[in-house]
């Protein structure tokens, strides 16, 4: 489910922002958004950032890009396995 990926990614980004002592307003301004609401929505898992924005957040927060990729792939793998294995078991 996309919601789980969005929440997991949002949690990572929020933790990273707070560790770097940035406010949502500072980040939104730095990324060219007029309101911190977009950052809030990402951090609450309501949506995922566009890839260009995610790349900027990784740079600003000094995150390891490989860690972010692994997190996304792990969530997507879990979603796929759950959907495919559930269907296969129900047909057996």
Q: Where are the domains of the chain?
A: 2-91
pLDDT in tens, 19-72: 999 999 999 999 999 999 999 999 999 999 999 999 999 999 999 999 999 999
> Looking at domain 2-91, which CATH architecture does it have?
Orthogonal Bundle (1.10)
Residue 40, token pair as written in the block: 């809030």
Q: pTM for this one?
A: 0.85
How many Cα atoms sit within 13 Å of 18 on the Cβ side?
8
Provide the 8-state DSSP code for 32. Answer: T
Question: Residue 12's closest CA among 43, 38, 40, 48?
Answer: 43
């Amino acid at each position: 489910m996309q919601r789980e990926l969005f929440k997991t990614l949002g949690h990572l980004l929020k933790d990273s922002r707070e560790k770097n002592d940035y406010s949502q307003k500072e980040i939104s301004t730095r990324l060219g958004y007029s309101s911190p609401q977009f950052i809030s929505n990402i951090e609450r898992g309501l949506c995922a950032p566009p890839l260009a924005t995610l790349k900027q957040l990784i740079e600003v927060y000094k995150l390891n890009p490989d860690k972010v990729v692994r997190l996304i792939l792990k969530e997507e793998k879990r979603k796929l396995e759950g959907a495919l294995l559930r269907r296969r078991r129900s047909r057996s």
